[in-house]
């Protein structure tokens, strides 16, 4: 299988490289992209001489690497589009490990070109779920989820997808899971980046702390498995060993239990779900000795409720949710706003938005741009009020 990896320098990207490296008989890396962290290029090219194309953001760094590696073609943002890698590289599978809205167009392009898409980019489904599902329904490409939660649900549904009463996503609760709402007032970005069970990139770690990450995953599950919001729930789970589970109408449960390691769902996606796996049945969460669970409190994590709007009303609400959160998270990481201001900005943008039903890609992009401006204005307003 010829692989194109988008986002090779990130957490998912580096672990995908590990999986490919350990399974050379099945996978060949033919191209990859990196953002600002380019030092990984040396080690990737050393381990994978099969690479023919590399995409960078920085034009001057691309020229530098082109001189060092004349047998590899280096592309950059100045003269090329990231999506060009999909056709140029002659890949069979695209692993989309990009973070944010930037991942949407490559996902759509991959499917339009009948590629297999291993998807870690949550925003592709949150923002463009309708477009992506319409492509899949028309026979364009295939999609394999990489998220640990959706990988677990995929496995459980493969074993038994009948008489499911609810699919349950587990959540660690993030860095502040032991704090009350009042205690969140003065927390810092440094505090928020201390995730209790996973090691991930900055943005997704903050998203775990606000739990908008789980909001995104509910939306993803809705699009991936055609389940309504009312049949998707959340359970807080300290150890992150039960990755997600199904509740059946007869009162039994089925879930996947393993230590938190993203290489497992990555490998399952790369092999298109065709490798051995195990799920476990149980009659109660109390049967899982040594694991701790807590009831999810929507008042403690109010952003999760926004998944209902996106799944029920669809349209451009997903684009609003995503961009307002991206802007707010970056502002928080830079010390411009407080942690709870993230929620204020996202709720304001969602509440004031006039939805566009069945949007085109152009309308989604226009919504993204307008919400980017609106959210940044809200950041500036908050900063002014602080003075």
CATH of residue 357's domain is 1.10.1740.10
Residue 306 belongs to some domain of the structure: no
Q: How far apart are CA 369 and CA 387, in angstroms?
A: 28
Q: Is residue 43 part of a domain?
A: yes
Domain boundary among 113, 145, 177: 145
Q: Look at the chain and report how many structural domains it folds into.
A: 3
In a domain, 307, yes or no: no
CATH for 98: 3.40.50.720
> Is residue 304, in this structure, part of any structural domain at all?
no
Q: Is 359 helix (H, G, I), strand (E, B) or coil?
A: coil
Q: Note if the pTM is more than 0.85.
A: yes
Same domain as 81, residue 218:
no
Q: Which residues of the chain are under the pLDDT cut of 70?
A: 195-200
In this structure, the answer to whether residues 283 and 268 fall within a common structural domain is yes
Alpha-carbon distance of 340 to 138, in angstroms, equals: 42
**Confidence at residue 191, expressed as pLDDT on a 0 to 100 scale:** 84
Q: Based on the domain organization, do 54 and 133 belong to the same domain?
A: yes
- The 10s digit of each residue's pLDDT in 195-217 is 666 566 788 889 989 999 999 99
Domain end among 145, 167, 200: 145
Check whether residue 88 and residue 215 sit in a common domain.
Answer: no
Q: What is the pLDDT of residue 175?
A: 81
CA–CA distance, 291 with 282 (Å, rounded to integer): 13
pLDDT at residue 83, rounded to an integer = 95
In a domain, 305, yes or no: no
For residues 328 and 331, give the distance between their C-alpha atoms in angstroms, rounded to a whole number.
5
59 lies in a domain? yes
Residue 345's CB: how many other CB atoms inside 10 A?
A: 25
Cα(200)–Cα(204) distance, rounded to whole angstroms? 7
256/359 same-domain check: no
Q: Encode pLDDT of 134-183 as tens digits.
A: 999 999 999 999 999 999 999 999 999 999 999 999 998 888 888 989 99
Gap between the Cα atoms of 144 and 275, Å rounded: 13
Q: Are residues 153 and 233 in the same domain?
A: yes
243 shares its domain with 324: no
Residue tagged 């980017």 (tokens): 372
Query: Of 145, 160, 184, which closes a domain?
Result: 145
116-119 sheet: strands from edge to edge: 73-76, 53-56, 28-33, 2-6, 93-96, 116-119, 142-145
| Tally of residues, the chain | 387
Task: Give me the pLDDT at residue 200, please.
Answer: 64
Residues 63 and 183 in one domain: no
Distance between CA atoms of residues 51 and 28, nearest Å: 8
* Separation CA 313–CA 356 (nearest Å): 9
Tally Cβ neighbours within 10 Å of residue 44. 21
Angle, alpha carbons 91-93-94 (nearest 5°): 95
Residues 140 and 235 in one domain: no
Question: What tokens were used for 14?
Answer: 């580096």
Distance, first Cα to last Cα, the chain: 56
Please give the pLDDT value at position 178: 87
Question: Would you state the structure tokens that stand for residue 318, as one six-digit string?
Answer: 């997903």
Identify whether residues 70 and 123 lie together within a single domain.
yes
Dihedral over alpha carbons 155, 158, 160, 164 (to 10 degrees)? 70
Q: Does the residue 240 lie in any domain?
A: yes
Is residue 55 within a helix (H) or strand (E), and if so which, with residue range? strand 53-56
Short-list 172, 335, 157, 369, CA closest to 260 = 172
Range of the domain at 115: 2-145
**Same domain membership, residue 153 and residue 228:** yes
Radius of gyration of the chain (CA): 21
Same-domain check for residues 324 and 278: no
Residue 333 belongs to a domain: yes
How many Å apart are CA 281 and CA 247, to the nearest integer?
A: 10
């Amino acid at each position: 299988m010829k692989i194109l990896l988008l986002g090779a320098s990130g957490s998912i990207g580096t672990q995908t490289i590990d999986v490919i490296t350990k399974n050379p008989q099945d996978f060949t890396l033919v191209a990859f992209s990196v953002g600002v962290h380019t030092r990984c290029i040396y080690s990737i090219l050393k381990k994978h001489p099969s690479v023919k194309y590399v995409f960078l953001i920085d034009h001057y760094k691309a020229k530098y690497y082109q001189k060092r590696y004349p047998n590899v073609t280096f592309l950059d943002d100045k003269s090329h589009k990231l999506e060009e890698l999909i056709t140029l590289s002659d890949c069979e599978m695209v692993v989309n490990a990009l973070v944010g809205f930037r991942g949407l167009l490559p996902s759509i392009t991959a499917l339009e070109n009948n590629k297999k898409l291993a998807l870690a980019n949550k925003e592709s489904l949150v923002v463009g779920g309708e477009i992506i599902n319409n492509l899949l329904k028309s026979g364009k490409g295939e999609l394999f989820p990489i998220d640990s939660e959706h990988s677990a649900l995929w496995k459980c549904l493969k074993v038994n997808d009948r008489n499911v009463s609810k699919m349950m996503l587990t959540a660690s609760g993030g860095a502040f899971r032991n704090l009350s709402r009042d205690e969140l007032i003065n927390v810092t970005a440094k505090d928020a980046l201390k995730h209790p069970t996973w090691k991930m990139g900055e943005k997704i770690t903050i998203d775990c702390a606000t739990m908008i990450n789980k909001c995104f995953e509910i939306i993803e599950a809705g699009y991936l498995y055609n389940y309504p919001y009312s049949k998707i729930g959340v359970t807080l789970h300290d150890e992150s060993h039960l990755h997600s589970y199904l509740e059946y109408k007869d009162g039994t449960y089925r879930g996947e239990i393993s230590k938190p390691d993203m290489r497992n769902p990555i490998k399952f996606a790369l092999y298109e779900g065709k490798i051995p796996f195990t799920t476990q049945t149980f009659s109660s969460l109390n049967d899982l000795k040594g694991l701790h669970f807590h009831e999810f409190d929507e008042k403690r994590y109010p952003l999760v409720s926004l998944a209902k709007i996106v799944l029920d009303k669809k349209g451009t609400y997903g684009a609003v949710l995503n961009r307002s959160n991206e802007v707010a998270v970056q502002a928080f990481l830079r010390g411009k706003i407080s942690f709870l201001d993230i929620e204020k900005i996202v709720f304001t943008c969602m509440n004031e938005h006039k939805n566009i039903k069945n949007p085109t890609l152009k309308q989604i992009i226009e919504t993204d741009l307008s919400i980017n401006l609106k959210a940044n204005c809200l950041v500036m307003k908050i900063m002014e009020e602080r003075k």
